[in-house]
Structure 1
């Protein structure tokens, strides 16, 4: 407060030249962040893990170089890094929306909802194991589950962009599910904050929640998700038609500024800031607004490209005379067949934002996650093994999300082979459990037999044609060739491995910023530090102490539940991207072998999920 009053009283901020120690610390911080990110990205596609560790080493949990060297006040520079990092997070989420495929998003929305629901319900249910593990109350278990049910959006979009899966079907499902988990996590922040305030006011009384606390973030988020698509359909589409008509009428003097790259930058930035500000004041997720802003820009680019391609005449229908007449009548329409790619949302982001986000803002964001890890308080014996057990349960809760992507190959046709018939006899004679497994084995055996038969049928006609063409002394050369066998319906290409399910499971494991936020709110509100069944001596001691002394003790000594939840968040944030990097490296290696001819075309690594 004294520093703020001094700043307000001063007429200007005095300029002081930074000393060499401050310059070296800032330079080394940025250089090491980017260097570690580049090295780990080339090996395992998870350079963000190194940036989190650098934040621990340089920040308050570690050597405290940033706080002690760069500012006279405590952790002032770290607060600036946190704020700039959150700005980078908003731009990362916006990039994810801009690079999303609208068609893939519409087609995979039910699957994304199922993945998100699993990623929320499973960690919440498994968090109640803290009751017998550490003696936590139901409220504390709920707060810990709320912190661990979210998915780190910054980590998700960074992994997708680094691995090149952003525009695929797998990336669409993953980004949409992570966004839904994030919205639910931010709603949990409001609920946990209200629970903490109510629990602090009524000691030992029943906790009651105001309905507006829960309904406002949910309804506002749903309203944003519903109103923006309706705005695209009923407002932006007529505006697009109006602009196309003006372009055909050559009235481009007024709209000339909007047709430039700088005009597109102003429109995209104004849309992003407008939706973010509206969501913040309305009580919704700021990151959801950034994602929807990117979706709006992506939808506009897709619709504009579709309309301009539809206006182009087909090459078969245009004769030379018609083409000359059309070129003489409207030279503007022929000179601009499609919208320039430099005006799209992806091109604008890459030209203006990508360098600053990739080199400064994104490293600051992941380093700020490292600032909030109390590494020196986490290595007591009971906290470590309980944290490892809770981490394993939280990893399991998110790994269950990949079950929705597992598809067993189904048998096609009546020629299933003798193996499937024998397995069906065994299934009819066996019990319920054995019949389940034998039925699944029968499907796999039928798929293998049908695949072998189709490969033989495809090689047989080629061999026959080569032998007929190689023998010139045929007795009846004018006779027509024998009719080709009827082509069988080829099954839809499906993944032959568990790589898609493994990638989406491991990518959903990372918690990150929302998990730290919810756990920090629960700790500051006294939810984690409150005793489940205080004794009379404990009540007398707590009543004798003042509120300020209790707050000082809580700040100096974090609760065990908070440290256990922090263990789970930290390890999940590190293990998830690391596992995704290993899987993506393996997938890319298999894809390179398949394209190089070392594997057959039928062996697809990701199948339909990589399209």
Structure 2
């Protein structure tokens, strides 16, 4: 028997069964995604079901080696999904709603952990096991969140900014919980718990400082060099076709590598990388070089302001006037389009196709690989899992209450005459001691207004004496209802999906023996793990399904297909604008 060489991998043509299975897997993932997106705007659910059917929980058509490769490539898709979410960050909306995002994240973390202690009476869990279950359910699936935002057209809205920021904060806390859970089974060290949180806070503080005090001055310096030497080495390097792609990719890889070795969430670092590129595109002045034979120009304004102000130049006055006469919608669309060197343009040119067709479907299919379908369908497990799911649905739905604004008008309080005299007695004594207030004299302006009112005829209506006498007394105003509950409902339902971080924490708690009990057989999953898995699975299904239904309803109310509100008058109000 010939020995297999160790210095290289021999090339072997895959058999026809392997070709058919893997081709069908990839094609069905994309077809089911298109169908579900068209119907309910959440094609990711179909991809999760396909993963269950093809993987170990279902028909086992894919080998364990193939599943491992799909999981690894799917995680690359998750990384690029989070990076795209960072590129969509609108800093004016983030600054205005930072406190709201923190409040939503704190609510979405604390309530699931608190409600998870009901497992002590539901399945006989210990306080430590209940805390581990709450840690698994406190995080929000970033891949699901950013996929919902991109497919529904809400990524660039204020609602999308609040949702993505809160989900990112939940994810950071969830990954800190990963370190906690992984050390609860062995020797517990405070360093392994504090380090991820400290590094995450350090990154959140250091990155804006570096951007403001290092990146921005260096960019201005390079702009000056390129302006003074239009065809120099610096100008050619910065103006190269592939320079933005190389710079953005190196930045992404550097953030991920640094965060991983520092001991914090690499997904948080990915989001910061995307947000940094978005900030550089929109908030930093850039140099513009014209084509060969022209004169280079430099602008001291960011891209968005420069595009809007360029139409106001004297040369473009006539064109601007004609555009205003024929409709400025097309002009606004051109201004809002990203430049060829922006992070969004680079992402869509080099990454988007692979992410959309291969990496993102693999990620959601890998979630389906982690669902133990065969162990979940027993009577006690099912009803306990459903009860725990209801609690976890409520725990995330309440985060939407932060977007409800009640316009209240309090009724006037009428005090009895005796009580009014007691209240006004000190003021009356004060007036006697220092003299009564002098009534302001009527000036000429007031006299003129009175004369005008006297001359102007007032419209009169003929009313019968009986109607005047029986006119009902005005009732105190009632509390007005909110104009729309759609933003609150969308935020709450979008925060429901748990996904990858929840499965990771639950799996760690199961493999370290934290969920095990004395009555659990060694070759089967523990009851707590199955109940927690039920909650994660159902929440991951119900969340996107609910958001898709709400988006479909909002689009129907708007009466158009692009999914965005026109100003603040749409169903989403101010939360549906950029």
TM-score > 0.5, shorter chain as reference: yes
Distance verdict in 2 for CA 1:594–1:288, change over 3 Å = closer
Distance verdict in 2 for CA 1:583–1:191, change over 3 Å = same
Distance verdict in 2 for CA 1:586–1:427, change over 3 Å = farther
Q: What SS does the corresponding residue of 1:257 show, helix, strand or coil?
A: helix
Counterpart in the other structure of 2:76: 87
Give the Å deviation of 1:211. 1.6
Give the Å deviation of 1:251. 3.9
> Aligned to 1:266, which of 246, 263, 268?
246
Contact 2:568 2:576 in 1 (8 A): no
Show the 5 A alignment for 1:440-451: none
Counterpart in the other structure of 1:470: none
CA distance in 2, matches of 1:340, 1:189: 38
> Aligned to 1:187, which of 149, 163, 176?
176
Q: What SS does the corresponding residue of 2:229 show, helix, strand or coil?
A: coil
Distance verdict in 2 for CA 1:152–1:317, change over 3 Å = closer
Counterpart in the other structure of 1:387: 385
Residue 199 (structure 2) pairs with residue 220 (structure 1): yes
Contact 1:221 1:284 in 2 (8 A): yes
Residue 515 (structure 2) pairs with residue 528 (structure 1): yes
Counterpart in the other structure of 1:152: 141
Distance verdict in 2 for CA 1:314–1:355, change over 3 Å = closer
Give the Å deviation of 1:250. 2.8
Distance verdict in 2 for CA 1:252–1:303, change over 3 Å = farther
Q: What SS does the corresponding residue of 2:284 show, helix, strand or coil?
A: helix
Counterpart in the other structure of 1:204: none
CA distance in 1, matches of 2:338, 2:541: 41
CA distance in 2, matches of 1:403, 1:517: 29
Counterpart in the other structure of 2:529: 562
CA distance in 2, matches of 1:577, 1:274: 32
Give the Å deviation of 1:358. 0.3
> Aligned to 2:503, which of 516, 522, 544?
516
CA distance in 2, matches of 1:121, 1:587: 30
CA-atom RMSD in angstroms: 2.8
Contact 1:52 1:369 in 2 (8 A): yes
Q: Deviations over 1:251-305 (max 9, x none)?
A: 4431313323411000000000010011111110010010000011001101235
Show the 5 A alignment for 1:16-35: 16-35=12-31
Q: What SS does the corresponding residue of 1:65 show, helix, strand or coil?
A: coil
CA distance in 2, matches of 1:170, 1:370: 29
Distance verdict in 2 for CA 1:84–1:590, change over 3 Å = same
Contact 1:183 1:288 in 2 (8 A): yes
Counterpart in the other structure of 2:103: 114
Give the Å deviation of 1:46. 0.5
CA distance in 1, matches of 2:374, 2:415: 58
Distance verdict in 2 for CA 1:312–1:389, change over 3 Å = closer
Moved more, 168-177 or 306-315: 306-315
CA distance in 1, matches of 2:363, 2:83: 15
Distance verdict in 2 for CA 1:408–1:269, change over 3 Å = same
Counterpart in the other structure of 1:605: 571
Q: What SS does the corresponding residue of 2:264 show, helix, strand or coil?
A: coil
Show the 5 A alignment for 1:323-362: 341-362=339-360
Counterpart in the other structure of 2:330: none
Distance verdict in 2 for CA 1:588–1:340, change over 3 Å = closer
Residue 255 (structure 2) pairs with residue 275 (structure 1): yes
Give the Å deviation of 1:558. 0.3
Q: Deviations over 1:105-161 (max 9, x none)?
A: 111111000000000000000000000111100000000000000000000000000
Distance verdict in 2 for CA 1:194–1:589, change over 3 Å = same
> Aligned to 2:366, which of 352, 365, 368?
368
Distance verdict in 2 for CA 1:167–1:319, change over 3 Å = closer
CA distance in 2, matches of 1:394, 1:582: 20
Unpaired segments ≥5 residues, structure 2: 286-300, 317-334, 417-480
Distance verdict in 2 for CA 1:180–1:345, change over 3 Å = same
Q: What SS does the corresponding residue of 1:364 show, helix, strand or coil?
A: helix
CA distance in 2, matches of 1:427, 1:378: 64
Contact 2:42 2:545 in 1 (8 A): yes
> Aligned to 1:65, which of 45, 61, 68?
61
Distance verdict in 2 for CA 1:384–1:17, change over 3 Å = same
Contact 2:33 2:46 in 1 (8 A): yes
Determine which structure has the larger helix proportion and give its number.
1
Give the Å deviation of 1:592. 1.3
TM-score normalised to the size of structure 1?
0.74
CA distance in 2, matches of 1:262, 1:140: 51
> Aligned to 1:592, which of 542, 546, 559?
559
> Aligned to 1:574, which of 501, 520, 541?
541
CA distance in 2, matches of 1:42, 1:588: 13
Counterpart in the other structure of 2:89: 100
Moved more, 140-149 or 236-245: 236-245
CA distance in 1, matches of 2:9, 2:482: 62
TM-score normalised to the size of structure 2?
0.78
Q: Deviations over 1:428-455 (max 9, x none)?
A: 9xxxxxxxxxxxxxxxxxxxxxxxxxxx
Q: Deviations over 1:446-498 (max 9, x none)?
A: xxxxxxxxxxxxxxxxxxxxxxxxxxxxxxxxxxxxxxxxxxxxxxxx97110
Q: What SS does the corresponding residue of 1:528 show, helix, strand or coil?
A: coil
Moved more, 97-106 or 253-262: 253-262
Q: Deviations over 1:377-402 (max 9, x none)?
A: 00010000000000000000000100
Give the Å deviation of 1:426. 10
Contact 1:594 1:600 in 2 (8 A): no
CA distance in 1, matches of 2:566, 2:199: 51
Give the number of aligned pairs. Answer: 475
Distance verdict in 2 for CA 1:136–1:13, change over 3 Å = same
Distance verdict in 2 for CA 1:239–1:563, change over 3 Å = same
Show the 5 A alignment for 1:375-524: 375-410=373-408, 424=412, 496-524=483-511
